[in-house]
Amino acid sequence: MTGPGAALILCRFLFDAATLLLWGTSVYLCTLVPSGLRSNVWARLYAFRTAAIVCVTVATVATLPLRAATIGEGWQDAISFEMMASVASETTVGAAWVCQVVATLLLLATGALPPRYRLSATAATCALLLCSQAVTGHAAMNEGWLRTLHQANDIIHMLAGGAWLGALLPLLIILRPSTDPAKKQEARTALIRFSTAGHVAVAIVILSGVANMLLVLGRLPTDWTIDYQRLLAIKIGLVAMMALMAIFNRYVFVPRLARRSHSVSALTAGTAAEIILGLFVIGLVAWFGMLEPYP
């Protein structure tokens, strides 16, 4: 895929990656990290937060002209006000974009809030951004209650996946050694809570992913002559690898943290590898989300 279509895939990747990571980071810090550690980790993630918000904003601004170009006759329609207005007001993707704009403005507005509200507001607005994406996609192929069910499943899948992947970023900071006994205890608490919640998030991702596959294809993606099914199969393989790595980290390295210092390095490396695999998964979804599942 070349031209506006390729640019739209890149735009979707930037938006999805930034939103999912920011959602997971903020919801993990809000709900599972002790308050004494929370503000320190949030502050140390300032550069990431700024970059993520910039990516979300740029992607949101670029989405409408790119949609106009892909729906219309090419790049000339990307600068056609009439075409962009038509897409925004008359199509499902246009309605999703309007929701995305509103949620992006709310995300930008969180910077003006008092610090004690900023973290929870970021989590809430990122959840809205992810929900706005469920309006479009393959769920839109269905009608009535099946469409609603499919969209709800997509939302659950994105929220659970983002909670899993995004929490790994602050976890990298939490895993760094500290000589302060109080900080060590808070880090241990945050790690245990992540391990517990991670089981739930991974299970939801797998179950909702299977449900989504059945809602779209009705079977396993076995016809690899079709780009959508081939890319979906690769995604399934990568998610399986991530799940196995998460299980290995939890049941091999975490129990050894108190006894072996090299286990921290191994757990950190495993966590970073999960993040990299997760970004590949997001890229695949951005790609095959633009494709037809059947010939």
Domain boundaries, the chain: 4-288
pLDDT band at 177 (very low <50, low <70, confident <90, very high): low
For the record, the structure tokens of 125 come out as 């607005």
CA-wise closest residue to 192 among 202, 182, 181, 184: 184
* Cα distance between residue 50 and residue 153, in whole Å: 30
* Cα distance between residue 202 and residue 56, in whole Å: 25
CA 19, 159, 284, 198 dihedral sign is: positive
pLDDT for the residue numbered 55:
98
The CA dihedral of 250, 252, 253, 257, to the nearest 10 degrees, is 100
Helix spans in 2-34 (H): 4-31
Give the whole-number percent of the chain exceeding pLDDT 90. 72
Classified as helix, coil or strand, 15 is: helix
pLDDT band at 2 (very low <50, low <70, confident <90, very high): low
96-125 mean pLDDT: 95
Model confidence, pTM:
0.94
Helix spans in 32-91 (H): 35-44, 46-71, 81-90
Q: At residue 188, does pLDDT exceed 90?
A: no
**SS3 annotation, 265-295:** HHHHHHHHHHHHHHHHHHHHHHHHCCCCCCC
CA 81, 83, 87, 89 dihedral sign is: positive
> Which residues are within 8 A (CB) of 74 and not within 5 positions of it... i.e. 6 or more apart?
3, 4
Residues 29-38 pLDDT 10s: 999 999 889 9
Q: At residue 138, does pLDDT exceed 80?
A: no
pLDDT band at 97 (very low <50, low <70, confident <90, very high): very high
pLDDT for the residue numbered 34:
93
pLDDT for the residue numbered 235:
97
Task: Note whether 163 and 27 are within 8 A (CB).
Answer: yes
Q: At residue 204, does pLDDT exceed 70?
A: yes
82-92 mean pLDDT: 93
Phi-psi group of 137: left, alpha or beta (phi > 0 → left; psi -120 to 50 → alpha; rest → beta): left
* Cα distance between residue 54 and residue 57, in whole Å: 5
Residues 247-295 pLDDT 10s: 988 888 777 776 666 778 888 899 999 999 999 999 999 999 999 898 7
Task: Note whether 3 and 96 are within 8 A (CB).
Answer: no
Rounded to the nearest 5 degrees, what angle is found at the Cα of 228, between the Cα atoms of 99 and 286?
35
Rounded to the nearest 5 degrees, what angle is found at the Cα of 23, between the Cα atoms of 32 and 160?
75
Residues 42-86 pLDDT 10s: 999 999 999 999 999 999 999 999 999 999 888 999 999 999 999
CA-wise closest residue to 115 among 41, 39, 171, 50: 39
* Multiple choice CATH, 4-288, 1.20.1630, 2.40.160, 1.10.20, 1.10.10: 1.20.1630
* Cα distance between residue 143 and residue 150, in whole Å: 10
pLDDT for the residue numbered 123:
97
Q: At residue 179, does pLDDT exceed 90?
A: no
Task: Note whether 159 and 205 are within 8 A (CB).
Answer: no
75-104 mean pLDDT: 93
